[in-house]
Amino acid sequence: MESMKNVVTTKEIKSYLNKSARRIWCAGCGNGICMGALIRAIVRLQILRDKVVIVSGIGCSGRASGYLDFDSMQTPHGRPITCATGIKLMRPEMHVIVFSGDGDIAAIGGNHLIHAARRNIDITVIVVNNQIYGMTGGQVAPTTPHGALASTAPYRNIESPFDICKLALAAGATYVARSTTFHVNQMVSFIERGIANRGFSLIEVMSQCPTQYGKLNNIGTPAEMLLWFKEKTINIKRSEEKTSEEIRGEIITGEFITERRPELTELYSQLLKRAQSKRSNDET
């Protein structure tokens, strides 16, 4: 049971929404659940509204930057991490949060993900992974499971999907976690820890897209898709006790890494001081 001090009311959540924005996500879409979890995490961390910047890309999840009442930016396709990097370097005191989809982050934006993780810049990336290109017609995405149906794979997908968490781990991220839209309290906790981490954080959220992925693959209603997440999920600690064959097709959730190493904006600040000191000495 969640303690009362951590409970965020519906009224509090609504106060962080842009009242002039007309929200047009499909009925049953998981983006709203993820956005609500992000708001809860910010409220629970007691971060001032003017200390948060939300950056999103193109796609269904990209609309979140306009729906949220923070300083925000919607970028070209695949560029939210790039723009977030620039914002963080210019304003290191800000909490810079990327809210974007699997197509935006792992396809055209994949190279930016790798290098932001390598640099360990202090931004938090929330990847809403619905396993398909939902907005543009249900095409195969870099996360579409092998054997799944898509509008561009009517005879089923023959490619292997990216494991975004493993990719971030290998690239050097210092906080990596995965949850689902069914496990909301867990998702909120992971987002909290990601924002609090002083370094590059990635939280992948497996999310339902009933309009495209669910319909094409006959998974059922949004509620049935949520229950499917519940049934297909296994905690990382339990997964380590099983063979690779036993966990094939399962969604592994949990925290994959939490570590501390030098963060880019801190190193950049030290570099500037050294350069300024050298320049001052040269002039004298």
Convert the pLDDT of each residue in 9-54 to its tens digit.
999 999 999 988 888 899 999 999 999 999 999 999 999 999 999 9
Looking at residue 255, what is its pLDDT?
A: 98
At residue 1 the predicted structure's pLDDT band, cuts being 50, 70 and 90, is very low
Looking at residue 73, what is its pLDDT?
A: 95
252, pLDDT greater than 90: yes
Looking at residue 5, what is its pLDDT?
A: 58
Looking at residue 283, what is its pLDDT?
A: 75
Looking at residue 269, what is its pLDDT?
A: 94
Looking at residue 190, what is its pLDDT?
A: 98
Q: If you classify domain 25-283 with CATH, what class do you get?
A: alpha beta
Looking at residue 280, what is its pLDDT?
A: 79
Residue 120, Ramachandran bin (φ over 0: left; ψ between -120 and 50: alpha; else beta): left
What H or E segment, with its residue span, contains residue 258? strand 251-258
Rounded to whole angstroms, how far apart are CA atoms 227 and 45? 29
**Residue type at 191 in one-letter notation:** I
Residue indicated by tokens 């790798």: 114
Rounded to whole angstroms, how far apart are CA atoms 89 and 284? 30
Find, among 189, 191, 186, 179, the residue nearest to 233 by Cα.
179
Q: Rounded mean pLDDT of 51-76? A: 95
Find, among 123, 105, 121, the residue nearest to 113 by Cα.
105
Looking at residue 215, what is its pLDDT?
A: 92
3, pLDDT greater than 60: no
Q: Residues 122, 175: contact at Cβ < 8 Å?
A: no
176, pLDDT greater than 70: yes
